[in-house]
Amino acid sequence: MINVLILDDDPMVAEFNKRYLEEVEGFMLTGIADSVNSALEIIEKAPVDLILLDIYMAGKNGLELLKYIRETGQQKIDVILITAAADAESIQTALRLGAIDYIIKPFEFERFRHSLLKYKEKFYLLNKQETLNQEELDKKIFHQESKAVTALPKGLSQCTLKTIVAIIEQYKDAPFSTEEIAERSNISRVSVRKYLKFMSDIGVLGERMTYGPVGRPTYLYVFRPSRSTLLSKFL
């Protein structure tokens, strides 16, 4: 398991990050901190492999913690920034200090999940193998050979995709669920979910997770008209 520390001084945001983390297999929460000092206390007492780090907070900011970790070299800790700081200077500083990813608030769950899955792949590759070849570095670390999707995945049909896309377009920028599309299309939820995942993977849909009154997670999607041309070769 990958041990994760969440540092965010907004309790609501920290809780959402915690719940998002629970949805991604292979990660375990070490603790939640609301300040740099409390984060350092946790780091001294418990193993931490990855910090989900905010920048803006009272007292010392997140970049100061990242700088301290890099300068002391006391622990091999990786950092993913999750912050509202969108200025180029903060982004450049974070990258120069070795941040492995930078997620700008507000963000969608799919972006969060993608970041953690990529990190998990790197983490286990670098910790389980003593040496790597160039092909492994290019594909799994630097991602230089990402291939464009040129055909529908096995089991998906052009006709069904057209039906689902026609329904999704009616929502415009309003969020929708798998259940809603299944009900309106008379297609099973299992099948609809496969098509929505495909469209999410190619960037036509945005995905986010919300929690209902009883705390159950619900996945909602949002259509991105500006990226609808990505569907043209599949319709």
On the question of pLDDT at 144 being above 60, the answer is no
pLDDT value of residue 147: 52
Binning pLDDT at 50, 70 and 90, where does residue 132 land? low
Task: State the number of CA atoms in the 13 A half-sphere of 132 facing the CB.
Answer: 16
Question: For the ranges 19-28, 50-59, 131-140, which has the lowest average pLDDT?
Answer: 131-140
Binning pLDDT at 50, 70 and 90, where does residue 125 land? confident
61-91: per-residue pLDDT in tens? Answer: 999 999 998 888 766 899 999 999 989 899 9
Give the span between the Cα atoms of 102 and 229, in whole angstroms: 27
Edge-first strand listing for the sheet containing 27-33:
27-33, 2-7, 50-53, 78-83, 101-104
pLDDT value of residue 27: 95
Question: For the ranges 97-111, 118-132, 177-191, which has the lowest average pLDDT?
Answer: 118-132
On the question of pLDDT at 28 being above 90, the answer is yes
Task: State the number of CA atoms in the 13 A half-sphere of 81 facing the CB.
Answer: 29
What average pLDDT does this structure show over 5-12?
A: 93
Domain 158-234, classified CATH 3.40.50.1000, yes or no: no
What average pLDDT does this structure show over 88-105?
A: 90
Question: For the ranges 72-76, 118-122, 199-203, 204-208, which has the lowest average pLDDT?
Answer: 72-76
Binning pLDDT at 50, 70 and 90, where does residue 146 land? very low
- What percent of the chain has pLDDT above 90? 43
On the question of pLDDT at 135 being above 70, the answer is no
3-state SS string for the chain: CEEEEEECCCHHHHHHHHHHHHCCCCEEEEEEECCHHHHHHHHHHCCCCEEEECCCCCCCCHHHHHHHHHHHCCCCCEEEEEECCCCHHHHHHHHHCCCCEEEECCCCHHHHHHHHHHHHHHHHHHHHCCCCCHHHHHHHHCCCCCCCCCCCCCCCCHHHHHHHHHHHHCCCCCCEEHHHHHHHHCCCHHHHHHHHHHHHHCCCEEEEEEECCCCCEEEEEEECHHHHHHHHHHC
- What percent of the chain has pLDDT above 70? 86
Mean pLDDT (the chain) is 85
Domains of the chain, residue spans: 2-141, 158-234
CATH superfamily of 2-141: Response regulator (3.40.50.2300)
Question: For the ranges 17-31, 41-55, 60-74, which has the lowest average pLDDT?
Answer: 60-74
172-196: per-residue pLDDT in tens? Answer: 888 899 999 999 999 999 999 999 9
